[in-house]
Every structure is written in structure tokens, then in C-alpha cells.
Copies of this chain bind each other. A is one copy, B any other.
């Protein structure tokens, strides 16, 4: 591999001069600089990321931790992050491997954004304690090195229940998410609080894990116990899609017998028939904001911030007047 040492030799200057020239420092005169640049290009020189980050103690890389890529909204989320980061000279890498949690403590990345419920809060805390900067999108954490930007799950869940109630539903069923998910817990909590406001509503809970499969199973359970039209709040769209799949094989009709509302407004939701009612929020903004807070923490050494992403109701023919 050709290093600045080779360039220095070729140009008859010291390696420090080469380094300054390569970094566009005004300390070195135009002519020498040009000569050095030319030689560098000619020798096909490419800097060593390892050497640079060893010396500078930074990598200009941010990591985003995701549980599983299958989640249907990561596209826009990552897009939002990348834009903000690249404007500030940072690169984004998606970390998903078993051992990728090493990246932060080993200083392979300058900071991390967490959207991965399996990442232990204890571990995150110890990173922060070591001085690493974090943004969490999937839990609440209070620490001078951790910012957070969370969805307004409470408002979303309340909107969903109110929507069903407003449409005249008196039997409401919620398909829960996994306990490990902060969003799932918050949504469920808000649901329980919301239904209490409607004394006439019969309220049922069914287990779910945010995957399509569990949506199908929940659909089956609803089918078995079916006596009258029911409003179903699937705590995410993914499960709602699974439930669609189940009912497409039955004699019950969505929007007539079974009324479904989801959460997330993933892309598919607008393509299924009938259009899924759901709770929407800007994934792009969520990602952009998370990145921004992280950069604030890293660059401006600003104190941590706690932001919230607004949600809104999207109506759909999957929920009709009872």
C-alpha cells in the first residue's frame, strides 16, 4: 500500500508537508502542494482510515442499530438520517450483526442511534458512562450523553381508540405487541386508559409480537369468538396485514364484520384492500431529528434533548360505521 511516506520520498519533501498538503492546509505553498497532489494521484494514494482514526480519535461514522431489516419503514427512516449526517460530513452504517455492539466501545463509530429493543439499557448506560454519545428512539433514558426522540405513542393509541368508538364500535379488541418493545408498552397503556372513558365498551386483549404471523393468529381467535362486529386495534400495521391475510380466507369481511386500525402507516397499508386505517408519523423526520440530536451531542457538545414525534390519524375503509 502506498502511504504518505512514499509520496514524500517521491516529492522530496517530509511526510508532514505531504500531510498538510493533502489536507489543504495553507501552511504549504501552492506549488509544492500542487506537486504533492499530482504525485499522490499518480501513485493512486488512498489514506488509511485506521491510521487516521487512530490518530484523530474519531471516525466520522455514525451507527444505527436495528433489530431486523424486515421492518417496513426503515427506508424513509434511514434516508432522513443519511441526509442530515452527510450534510455534516458523517457517514451512516447500519449495524445489525450479533457482535456489532462492539462498534461503539471500540470506537469504530463516533456515536450511535438505537432502535433495537434487544440492546440492553444497562449496556447503553455503560457506553454513555464512558463518554460515548447516543440517541435512543425506542426507550426512555436520562443521561448527559443520551438524547432521545420518541413517537407520541400515547396520542396515537388514543386517536385509534377514539376513532373506533366514534364509528360506533362497542366491542373493541387490541392486538398487543411484545413486552420488550417500549412502543408496544406505551401504546397498550394508552389504550387501557382510553377505553376506560367509554363505560359501554367491551374490551378484549389478544397477544401479539408485532409480526404478521401473530396478526394471523389473532385474526383466528377473533373469528372463533365472533358474535358481533368488532373493532380491532392492531398495535402495528404489520400485524394488521397478517390479520387481513387471515380474514381473506374466511367469510368475515374487513370493514363490515371486522374493523381494523393499525399503527405506523407502512407503505403497504395504502395498497391493501380496503385501505388500512392507521396512525401515521413522518419516518423521515424521525430519522433526521435523531441524527441532528446526535450531532448536537457530538459536535456542539450541546446538552441532551428529549424530542417527540407527532402522530396523526389516517382514515381507511377498514373501519366503517357500525
Contacts and interface: CB of A to CB of B under 8 A. Distances in A.
Interface of A: 1, 44, 46-51, 53-54, 59, 68-70, 72, 74-76, 78-79, 82, 85-86, 91-100, 102-103, 105-108, 130, 212, 241, 244-245, 248, 267-268, 270-273
Copies of chain A in the complex: 2
Interface core residue of A82, A272, A273 (most chain B CB under 10 Å): A272
Given A48-B106, A68-B75, A245-B271, A86 B94 contact: no
Interface core residue of A69, A72, A85, A268 (most chain B CB under 10 Å): A69
A220 B106 CA distance: 54
A237 B133 CA distance: 40
Contacts of A93: 93-95, 97, 100
B85 A91 contact: no
Given A50-B54, A50-B107, A271-B268, A94 B91 contact: no
Given A108-B49, A271-B244, A98 B86 contact: yes
23 contacts: A46-B105, A48-B54, A49-B103, A50-B53, A50-B108, A51-B54, A69-B75, A69-B79, A70-B76, A78-B96, A86-B97, A86-B99, A91-B103, A92-B96, A92-B97, A92-B100, A93-B93, A93-B100, A212-B271, A244-B271, A268-B268, A268-B271, A272-B273
